Structure 1
Amino acid sequence: MYLIGELAKQCNVTSDTLRFYEKNGLLVPSGRSSSGYRLYNDDNLAQIRFILKAKQLGLALDEIQELLAIRLEATKHSCAEVKAITQSKLNIIDEKIAQLTDIRLALKSINDACCGHVDEDASHCSILSALAELEEKKD
């Protein structure tokens, strides 16, 4: 059994992080000590590691909570349910990558068009002009 500080140290997170997960329903202590301290077991340790790995992959807390619920009752769920969650996240990431690619291309285009001369004052800067034109087209 672990106290909250010991579990936090094992997972390389803060006690506040564990309290946050508990408050948001991602973590349930396995019990309380006679003094009222939260107690955690190896299942809780594995659960925190699962949460941290899912966060590394960009999953939101609600998605992680859904995956944890499926994991706890795995025999009542299918792999298709789990895959639907990750596929949805992949679709969102693909959309963001496409948007960022478009932004990068537009920014590179106006950056490349700028002479960048130190001698020339910014009133003639093609980047400022391009941004102003984009704003006018937006309105």
Structure 2
Amino acid sequence: MAKNYTRGQLARAAGVLAETVRFYEGRGLLREPERDSSGYRIYLGEDLRRLRFIRRAKELGFQLREVEQLLALRVDKQPDQADRVRFLAQSKADEIAARVRDLQLLEGRLRELVHCCEERVSTEECPILDALSKAGVSNDSAAATGR
């Protein structure tokens, strides 16, 4: 006999919060479950597999609208759908690579500011506070450090 789950049991088994299960139901990512005679929602093994799929996709950086697309493609067994899945994954990888580059630039700017601040004793001359006070800090960190 297949195992059934309450909302809390399903959430624990999938490694998410019960509120997350409720939210995904509301978004249509999870089906509306049947209820037992006591009114408890009863989830099935397929619900657990689907919830784990959603959680893993989110961990890889997919947004919920993208997860919806992946779930639809998972159900659609047409041969050309594999290309669509590959395209979505490649697009997400490219997006993450761009974010990593942006974060590396931010890290470099912050390190420059920290380096300029190492010899300062007073916050009146602090290049970090000065840069944060000016508009365009992300683009003007070199100017703020006096370079």
Q: Counterpart of 1:26?
A: 29
Q: CA deviation at 1:64?
A: 0.8
SS of corresponding position for 1:58: coil
Count of residue pairs the alignment pairs up: 136
Describe how 1:1-139 pairs up with structure 2 within 5 A: 1-75=4-78, 77-117=80-120, 120-129=121-130, 135=136
Q: CA deviation at 1:21?
A: 0.6
Gaps of 5+ in 1: none
1:93-121 CA deviation, whole Å, 9 max, x = no partner?
1111111111111111121122344xx32
CA distance in 1, matches of 2:57, 2:69: 11
CA gap of 1:17–1:135, structure 2 versus 1, over 3 A, is: closer
CA gap of 1:48–1:112, structure 2 versus 1, over 3 A, is: same
Which structure has greater helix proportion? 1
Q: CA deviation at 1:32?
A: 3.1
1:51-110 CA deviation, whole Å, 9 max, x = no partner?
111111111111111101111122365211001111121121111111111111111112
State TM-score, norm by structure 2: 0.77
CA distance in 1, matches of 2:19, 2:132: 43
Report the aligned-residue RMSD: 2.6
SS of corresponding position for 2:78: helix
State TM-score, norm by structure 1: 0.80
Q: CA deviation at 1:132?
A: 5.8
